């Protein structure tokens, strides 16, 4: 949305009138304050004990200080946090936010039928999500309004679809969103050949990845030898895949391996070991069955929050196997099982359409035994840690990126409302929901309740 260069009082008034904009950023050309302070709030640091009545100071996009006895810079805008709880911004560790999901993206994965690994089927590791980021994806706002400030956004299509990017969910230009542009190398083991091209089987796909990683290792070894002895060594051919992956793996980039059921998880652990990559598994929903093996491997897991369910349009007479029934019943217990044995995990929403669904899924996980503080950690510091960004994301501590969520209660309580969100120190006031049917029909001022709520925030803000 467009950002307005108004003073805050004016700004909020404008927002109240607009109403079609759910979010207003008090940031714009010239008018935005680089300093904020939230005082008198309950602060959940995640990296330390909860501060019952404290202050967080934000300076130029970073957290400057936090505590009970903190000096507020004179130029800071102050939010009275009485009745509010401050959390670190939530991290969704696997989405396609900001990425186009059109037919082209799907086709890219297909390509012409390959006759072998040398044709590099469905392989485009040079694509970087950051380069394809579209900030007009409406979901970015809705995720942010629900308290998500950060996401791993993953390109789709193919066995090596590209490299995923960690984004913060605000900015004026796509580049502003990007926290780390080449964050992970996601892999898919989905066959792409369709019986007439390679690979058209799971084992063929695994063999293909093995060949590509071998080739990459070969290139990594050969390149410096050639560069040092160009007159005595046969010239190296250029292969874009080898070149890009060689650099990514030398940068110790995470490789995301698909592994949802217990068979896939155990297999992925073995392949990660064989391939000597810095692996993180994604899916993980049958982790409850193989938690010990995961713990022993020390490999983290991104747990998909779209829990398995019975196909809604399936044949009602279709036989449900006990195995499927057990999986559907137990999958939400995976996070608790992983937490119990010390497996590091984060959550991701891929497959869920709305943040509301995310919190519904999280509730099933906590109902199944996951402690709320463990859930919060998975959504913040552990996610940051898995993505190699815990030095700047995931908790409320001096020096970290100022990603904060201010709520009027426990973040996992369904009645709790998100009141403010800070992303990179950009301030967003979150307004009362307007249901989709009404949007655009309602006249400004119809909902007095909403206006008064906004006013409330305004009162809390002052110099």
251 binds other proteins (CB under 8 A): no
* Stretch of 57-65, 84-92, 296-304, 433-441 lying at the interface with other proteins (CB under 8 A): 433-441
Is residue 441 close enough to count as binding other proteins by CB under 8 A?
A: yes
Instruction: Determine if 229 is a binding residue for other proteins (CB under 8 A).
Output: yes
Of 439, 452, 455, 456, the residue at the interface with other proteins (CB under 8 A) is 439
Helix axes 202-228, 262-275, angle to 10 degrees: 20
Rounded to whole angstroms, the Cα distance separating 102 from 112 reads 19
Cα–Cα distance list, 54 to 86, 156, 428, 430 (Å): 10, 43, 20, 22
Q: Which 172-191 positions form the footprint of other proteins (CB under 8 A)?
A: 191
Residue 142 binds to other proteins (criterion: CB under 8 A) = yes
17 binds other proteins (CB under 8 A): no
With binding defined as CB under 8 A, does residue 353 bind other proteins?
yes
257 binds other proteins (CB under 8 A): no
Q: Half-sphere exposure of residue 175, counting CA atoms within 13 Å on the CB side? A: 0
CB of 416 to other proteins, least distance (A): 8
* Residue 78 or 90 with smaller CB distance to other proteins: 90
How far is the C-alpha of 236 from the C-alpha of 128, rounded, in Å?
25
> Is 40 or 211 the residue whose CB approaches other proteins more closely?
211
Among positions 32, 172, 176, 432, the unique one binding other proteins when judged by CB under 8 A = 432
Q: Is residue 201 involved in binding other proteins (CB under 8 A)?
A: yes
Tokens at 334, concatenated: 């995976």
Q: Which of residues 391-420 bind other proteins (CB under 8 A)?
A: 414-418
Question: Which CB atom, from 198 or from 348, has the smaller least distance to other proteins?
Answer: 198
Select from 78-86, 177-185, 256-264, 371-379 the region that touches other proteins (CB under 8 A): 256-264
Q: Which stretch binds other proteins (CB under 8 A): 47-55, 162-170, 200-208, 251-259?
A: 200-208
Q: What contacts 128, CB < 8 A, 6 or more positions away?
A: 155, 162, 163, 165, 181, 182
Is residue 136 close enough to count as binding other proteins by CB under 8 A? Answer: no
Helix (H, G, I), strand (E, B) or coil at 42: strand
Looking at the Cβ atoms of 215 and 253, the one nearer to other proteins is: 215
For 213-242, letters b (16+ CB in 10 Å) and e give: bebbbebbeeeeeeeeeeeeeeebeebebb
Q: Please give the structure tokens belonging to residue 201.
A: 């089987």
Distance between CA atoms of 35 and 276, rounded to whole angstroms? 45
Q: Which residue lies nearer to other proteins by CB, 1 or 71?
A: 1
What residues have CB less than 8 Å from 134, skipping those under 6 apart?
98, 99, 100, 174
Select from 39-47, 112-120, 125-133, 340-348 the region that touches other proteins (CB under 8 A).
Answer: 112-120
Site string for other proteins, 263-282 (x = CB under 8 A): xx-xx--xx-----------
Find the distance separating the first CA and the last CA of the chain, reported in whole Å.
Answer: 26
Q: Considering only the stretches 44-52, 247-255, 332-340, 436-444, report the one whose residues sit in contact with other proteins under the rule CB under 8 A.
A: 436-444
- Torsions phi, psi of 440, nearest 5? 90, -20
Count CA atoms within 13 Å of residue 404 on its CB side: 38
Q: Which is nearer to other proteins, 337 or 389 (CB)?
A: 337
Partners of residue 406 on adjacent β-strands: 86, 420
**Degrees to nearest 5, angle at CA 122 with 116 and 128:** 140
- Find out whether 91 and 393 touch, Cβ atoms under 8 Å: yes
Residues 262, 289: contact at Cβ < 8 Å?
Answer: yes
Toward other proteins, which CB reaches closer, 9 or 202?
202
User: Of 68-76, 102-110, 144-152, 169-177, which part binds other proteins (CB under 8 A)?
Assistant: 144-152
Nearest to 248 by CA among 160, 158, 131, 132: 160
Tokens linked to 314: 């399936």
353 or 371: CB nearest other proteins? 353
When the beta carbons of 266 and 458 are compared against other proteins, the nearer one is: 266
Among 39, 426, 431, 451, binds other proteins (CB under 8 A): 431
Applying CB under 8 A, the span of 5-13, 51-59, 168-176, 214-222 interacting with other proteins comes to 214-222
Q: What's the min distance (Å) between Cβ of 166 and other proteins?
A: 21
Q: Does 102 sit near other proteins (CB under 8 A)? A: no
Residue 39-58 contact track with other proteins, rule CB under 8 A, x = bound:
--------------------
């Amino acid at each position: 949305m467009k950002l307005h260069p108004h003073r805050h009082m004016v700004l909020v008034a404008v927002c109240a009138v607009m109403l079609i904009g759910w979010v207003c950023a008090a940031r714009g050309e010239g008018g935005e304050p680089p300093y904020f302070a939230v005082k008198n709030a309950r602060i959940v640091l995640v990296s330390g004990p909860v501060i019952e009545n404290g202050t967080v100071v934000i300076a130029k996009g970073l957290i400057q200080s936090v505590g009970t006895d903190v000096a507020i810079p004179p130029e800071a805008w102050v939010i009275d946090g009485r009745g509010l709880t401050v959390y670190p911004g939530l991290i969704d560790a696997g989405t396609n936010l900001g990425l186009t999901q059109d037919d082209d993206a799907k086709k890219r994965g297909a390509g012409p039928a390959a006759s072998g690994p040398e044709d590099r089927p469905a392989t485009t590791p040079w694509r970087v999500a950051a380069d394809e980021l579209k900030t007009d994806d409406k979901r970015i706002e809705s995720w942010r309004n629900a308290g998500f400030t950060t996401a791993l956004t993953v390109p789709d299509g193919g066995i090596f679809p590209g490299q995923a990017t960690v984004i913060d969910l605000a900015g004026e230009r796509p580049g502003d969103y990007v926290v780390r542009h080449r964050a992970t190398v996601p892999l898919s083991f989905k066959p792409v050949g369709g019986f007439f091209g390679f690979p058209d089987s799971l084992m063929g796909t695994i063999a293909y990845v093995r060949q590509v990683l071998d080739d990459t290792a070969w290139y990594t070894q050969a390149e410096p030898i050639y560069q040092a002895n160009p007159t005595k060594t046969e010239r190296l051919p250029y292969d874009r895949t080898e070149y890009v992956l060689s650099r990514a793996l030398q940068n110790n980039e995470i490789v995301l391996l698909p592994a949802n059921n217990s068979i896939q998880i155990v297999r992925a652990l073995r392949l990660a070991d064989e391939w000597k990559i810095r692996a993180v598994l994604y899916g993980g929903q049958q982790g409850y069955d193989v938690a010990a093996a995961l713990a022993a491997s020390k490999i983290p897991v991104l747990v998909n929050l779209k829990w398995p369910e019975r196909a809604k349009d399936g044949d009602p007479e279709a036989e449900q196997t006990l195995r499927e029934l057990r999986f559907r019943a137990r999958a939400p217990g995976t996070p608790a099982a992983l937490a119990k044995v010390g497996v590091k995990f984060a959550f991701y929403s891929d497959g869920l359409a709305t943040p509301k669904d995310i919190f519904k899924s999280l509730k099933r996980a906590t109902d199944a035994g996951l402690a709320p503080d463990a859930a919060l950690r998975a959504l913040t510091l552990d996610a940051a840690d898995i993505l190699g960004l815990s030095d700047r994301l995931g908790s409320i501590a001096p020096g970290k990126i100022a990603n904060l969520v201010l709520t009027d209660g426990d973040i996992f309580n369904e009645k709790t409302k998100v009141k403010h969100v800070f992303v990179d120190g950009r301030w967003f006031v979150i307004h009362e929901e307007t249901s989709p049917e009404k949007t655009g029909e309602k006249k400004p001022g119809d909902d007095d309740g909403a206006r008064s709520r906004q006013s409330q925030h305004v009162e809390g803000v002052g110099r």
